[in-house]
Structure 1
Amino acid sequence: MVDVVLTKQRIESGATERLEAWAREIRDRESEAVETLRNEGMYSETAFVEHADGGDYLVYYMKAEDIDAVYEAYEESSHDIDEEHERVLSEVLETGENVGEYDPLYHLENPDR
């Protein structure tokens, strides 16, 4: 069975623009970013910014066969883009702690896509 994960992390006040600039760079370096997904065993990753009354949050949707293996591969990665990603997140996130708590109800995919 595939792992589907949703996380939410608080963005430092005033750091959302920096995070958005990094997201644009990731899109510009798509082939490099996709290569890291392959190396991690990640099927898909989507990042969102949630704008809430209490501040902004980085929200991630991730899908992989084994999310623990993905986290391990990311930690061991020597790809420049992964190292830069880690640095940027440490600059823009308050703590990096997951502040969301989500219980998956279901996950469907169209097998004909």
Structure 2
Amino acid sequence: MNTKNEVVCARIRLKPDSLPLVREWAAYIAAHREEALRTLEAEGVVIESVFLDTVEGVDYLVYYMRAPSLKKAEVVAVKSLADVDLYHQNFKKTTWEKVSRLELLVDLDRSNT
């Protein structure tokens, strides 16, 4: 099946002093990997990666996600009652300060060939 996936990358400015909570969140997701993968499957997400970046003492997350429908993924995630999703939603409220979508310049995806 040759289905084109949508892709998004965002840079999230973190609230000051939230790095310990970020590391705690990453450890939680790793410890609950199977549940997290099931929720991504329900959302239709095929790839979700998160990177930590620090620029001039300010911490950022860089989020990369690929799915057939990013809108569907968002709707399903917001409605989810899975523990891992509830944890993630609380994490976002606690640590995220500002989200900026990054401009996609090149997207080479061999999975659709």
Structure 2 counterparts to residues 25-104 of structure 1, below 5 A? 25-53=28-56, 55-94=58-97, 97-99=98-100, 101-104=101-104
**TM-score under structure 2 length normalisation:** 0.88
Task: Identify unmatched segments of 5+ residues in structure 1.
Answer: none
For the residue of structure 1 that corresponds to 2:99, the secondary structure is: coil
Secondary structure at the residue paired with 1:42? Answer: coil
* Identity across matched positions, percent: 28
Q: 13, 16, 37: which is aligned to 1:13?
A: 16
The RMSD of aligned alpha carbons is: 1.4
Normalised by the length of structure 1, the TM-score is 0.88
Listed as ranges, the gaps of 5+ residues in structure 2 are none
Q: Distance in 1 between matches of 2:65 and 2:72?
A: 13
Task: Return the alpha-carbon distance in structure 1 between the equivalents of residues 106 and 59 of structure 2.
Answer: 27
For 2:54 and 2:60, how far apart are their aligned partners in 1?
A: 7
Q: How many residues align?
A: 108
| Structure with more strand by fraction | 2
